[in-house]
Amino acid sequence: MSSEHSHPHITPIKIYLAVFATLIAGTWLTYWVAYKDFGWLNTPVAMAIAIVKAGVVVLYFMHVKWQSKLTMLYAAGGFVWLLTLFAFTLQDYFTRSWLPVYE
Amino acid sequence: MSSTVQTHAPHAHSPHEHSGVAHAAEPKTNYLTANYGWKSWVFSVDHKRIALMYLFTIAFMILVGGVFALLVRLELATPAGDLLQSENYNKIFTMHGVVMVFFFLIPGVPAVLGNFLLPIMIGAKDLAFPKINLLSYYVFLVGILLTLTAAAMGGVDTGWTFYTPYSSTYANSQVALAAVAVFITGFSSILTGLNFVVTVHKMRAPGMTWFRLPLFVWANYATGLIILLSTPVVAITIVLVALERLFHIGVFDPAYGGDPVLFQHMFWFYSHPAVYIMILPAMGVISELIAAFSKKRVFGYPVVAFSSLAIAVIGFFVWGHHMFVSGQSTYAGVVFSVITMLVAVPSAIKVFNWVSTMYKGDVLLSTPMCYAIAFLGLFTVGGLTGIFLGTMGLDIHMHDTYFVVAHFHYVMVGGMVTAFWGGLHFWWPKMFGRMYPEAIGRVAAALMFIGFNMTFFPQFILGYMGMPRRYHFYPEEWQVLNLVSTLGATLLGISYLLPMIYLPWSLKFGKVAGKNPWGAKGLEWEADSPPTTFNFDKTPIVTEEAYAYPEGARHQPEAKVV
Ligand code: HEM
Ligand SMILES: [Cu+2]
């Protein structure tokens, strides 16, 4: 328990640089795919790249990779909750058109 | 007794310490007397001093919000809109809502009672992050100053919910400033929530297992989770409103391809859980009061503990019940309506378990217990009328009427505020070492109960008859009920002013309280009254579950006479 506090994890500079490179590459990739047309996959492709970038930031820059299981659980919990926000909001948007429209 | 062991002074004591009674004249210092001067307060990282700073700040905000409430009720005493113009009336009820919700109801119990008690109840010296705790107070203060500035510069007229497009396309008042204030205040809550969650995980005294935690701690832990998961969303929502206004990114404004109803989704994703941020800590207080004054373990303790978590989780999936008539899809409405029925279950479990705790207990009707019993009745009415509103078909009739106003005042004022007063009386001797005057305390509690019901019960009837909220004139036939409500509000106001007078009075003239004036169980009653800076002279070792009252425990006979 106390070891977690007195010995904070020190990440080698190399890892930071690698993460930085990944993020820059991801940004270029986003830019590049923005000019391609994948049809309905356009948004999923852009989102997939963004998720990878966010994951790298959370794991390495925010040190979640080296934390206790409890911390990981909390970090994951935040994302699960974000998904519920999306899911329950979209159940409104996706079903609005189901209603008959009376003129 | 273990309290004579002074661990904070490791060097040898001078031998005359043992020379006897003469030194009784040299009182042990406590957190109030540990050091003096304004700096020792404004830079204090002691959770107890920060709690007191919150207490005084929040007491001031109650008065500010109370003045706005008074103006609303005065205006509604007559059917004509004679006291205030429509624009001003809009601003007055908005400022009432903003001040009360963000600066009293949400922080009230956690920031005052929670800050003070949570570390003591788990046998810790302080919260996990004392400096973050102080930061949360100053962030809160900045939020208050900005809100008051917005009020002074002309106020806000959107309602406390800041719905778009009132707050965007048609904003015509200090909306931007008030939104920034709410944004900032949110961070104060996040910091407190974070502190509570980490503290409960990491700082429990040896032997203080999860199922030995007092239910007040469970409730504040669950509240911390809700705060952490929901508050960022309202912050993001406010940022999106700002981005849309500044850069015309289409989010909420149809002119740019947005949807105003999306604002309501995001707002209520925070604000429905926020109503549980208000009520859960209050429920924690009630568990403590009922156990202490019935001298029994809370009936079904683990179920009550888990019901807090259940409320925290299910409370996230019901927000659409605020939007039945907003243009939200009916199918989504049905889902939200059904889940709303579910969230009432854990709330009801708590109420049943509190009543069962009192059954065959030695119930002592002291002031805090009077407040607790009032809570049971008022919260139940509030919760059950919530079920009415959660029924989609019925809500189409009741939405935006005084029925809704009555519902949420029953839960927030009848629930949270009542519990706040009960808790404040209960722990007052712990916080300041003095007893409040018991007789007048009970009078205030009784007056509160009468005044409260007079104020808000007529509003159920008015709402059912169709009186809309947020208008300042109404047909003549509704005047009698509105007058009763205004008179009741006057009584209610007096009942809240009374403790604001006699509690400070008791600081000087109240009977000196011992460590445990109620004969209650719990680590806070083993600490001094008022506690020392680090709460305990020695880290306590916990060997029993919470509320370990012996079978058939009774109150001291002298407790009964008061
Ligand atoms: C016990 C279960 C509860 C249920 C089923 C419930 C249900 C509802 C529903 C359906 C509405 C929307 C009514 C409408 O606008 O047409 C509502 C409004 C409201 N409720 Fe509850 N509620 C419950 C508990 C609470 C609690 C504990 C609080 C606060 C401590 C609370 C505070 C509010 C507030 C502030 C509003 C009105 C918000 C506004 O439009 O300004 N409710 N409730
Ligand atoms: Cu709600």
| A5 belongs to a structural domain | no
| pLDDT for B560 | 62
| pLDDT for B27 | 66
In terms of phi and psi (left: phi > 0; alpha: psi -120 to 50; beta: otherwise), the region of B81 is beta
Residue located nearest, by CA, to atom 1 of ligand 1: B383
Q: How would DSSP label each residue in A73-87?
A: HHHHHHHHHHHHHHH
What residue has token string 């930071």?
A16
Domains identified in chain A, total number: 1
Task: State the Cα torsion B534-B535-B536-B541 to the nearest 10°.
Answer: -110
| pLDDT for A4 | 46
Contact assessment for residue B101 and residue B267, using Cβ atoms and an 8 Å cutoff: no
**Mutation test of ligand 1: which of B161, B379, B404, B405 has the most ligand atoms closer than 8 Å to its C-beta?**
B404
| Distance (Å, whole) CA B43 – CA B128 | 17
| pLDDT for B21 | 44
Of B316, B320, B329, the CB nearest to A81: B316
Report the candidate in B486, B482, B491, B490 with the shortest Cα–Cα distance to residue B462. B482
Per-residue pLDDT band for A2 (boundaries 50, 70, 90) equals very low
Mean pLDDT of B164-187: 89
**Mutation test of ligand 1: which of B407, B412, B413, B469 has the most ligand atoms closer than 8 Å to its C-beta?**
B407
| pLDDT for B7 | 39
Domain of residue A55 covers 13-94
| pLDDT for B10 | 39
What would you report as the CA-atom Rg of chain B, rounded to the nearest whole angstrom? Answer: 24
The residue in chain A having the minimum alpha-carbon distance to the alpha carbon of residue B266 is A85
Mean pLDDT of B81-108: 93
Residue located nearest, by CA, to atom 36 of ligand 1: B408
Structure tokens at B341: 């029925």
Give the per-residue SS3 of B327-380.
Answer: CCCHHHHHHHHHHHHHHHHHHHHHHHHHHHHHCCCCCCCCHHHHHHHHHHHHHH
User: Is residue A9 scored above 80 in pLDDT?
Assistant: no
Report the candidate in B518, B460, B509 with the shortest Cα–Cα distance to residue B484. B460
The atom number, within ligand 1, closest to the CA of B347 reads 1
Mean pLDDT of B21-44: 77
| Distance (Å, whole) CA B164 – CA B254 | 11
Q: Give the whole-number percent of chain B exceeding pLDDT 70.
A: 94
Mean of the per-residue pLDDT values for chain B?
91
Residue B532 DSSP SS3: strand
Report the candidate in B359, B360, B366 with the shortest Cα–Cα distance to residue B558. B366
pLDDT digits (tens, 9 = 90+) for B381-418: 999 999 999 999 999 999 999 999 999 999 999 999 99
pLDDT digits (tens, 9 = 90+) for B499-511: 999 999 999 999 9
| pLDDT for B490 | 96
| A6 belongs to a structural domain | no
Q: Of the ligands numbered here, which is closest to the C-alpha atom of B311?
A: 1
Per-residue pLDDT band for A30 (boundaries 50, 70, 90) equals very high
| pLDDT for A8 | 66
pLDDT digits (tens, 9 = 90+) for B202-252: 999 999 999 999 999 999 999 999 999 999 999 999 999 988 888 888 899
C-alpha distance across the termini of chain B, in Å: 29
Per-residue pLDDT band for B180 (boundaries 50, 70, 90) equals very high
This complex has an ipTM of 0.84
Q: B27 versus B281: which is more confidently predicted? A: B281
Q: Which residues line ligand 1 at a C-beta cut-off of 6 Å?
A: B 161, 275, 278-279, 321-322, 340, 343-344, 347, 383, 386-387, 389-390, 395, 398-399, 404, 407-408, 411-412, 415-416
CATH 3.40.50.620 for domain B42-541, yes or no, is no
Report the candidate in B454, B431, B428 with the shortest Cα–Cα distance to residue B441. B428
Are residues B233 and A85, on separate chains, in Cβ contact within 8 Å? Answer: yes
DSSP B511: P
Distance from CA of B204 to the nearest CA of A (A): 13
Distance from CA of A89 to the nearest CA of B (A): 7
| A2 belongs to a structural domain | no
Of B61-70, B248-257, B313-322, the range with the lowest mean pLDDT is B248-257
Contact assessment for residue B487 and residue B95, using Cβ atoms and an 8 Å cutoff: no
Report the candidate in B76, B199, B41, B35 with the shortest Cα–Cα distance to residue B480. B76
Contact assessment for residue B332 and residue A91, using Cβ atoms and an 8 Å cutoff: yes
User: Is residue B186 scored above 90 in pLDDT?
Assistant: yes
Question: What are the φ/ψ torsions at residue B142 (nearest 5 degrees)?
Answer: -60, -45
Per-residue pLDDT band for A12 (boundaries 50, 70, 90) equals confident
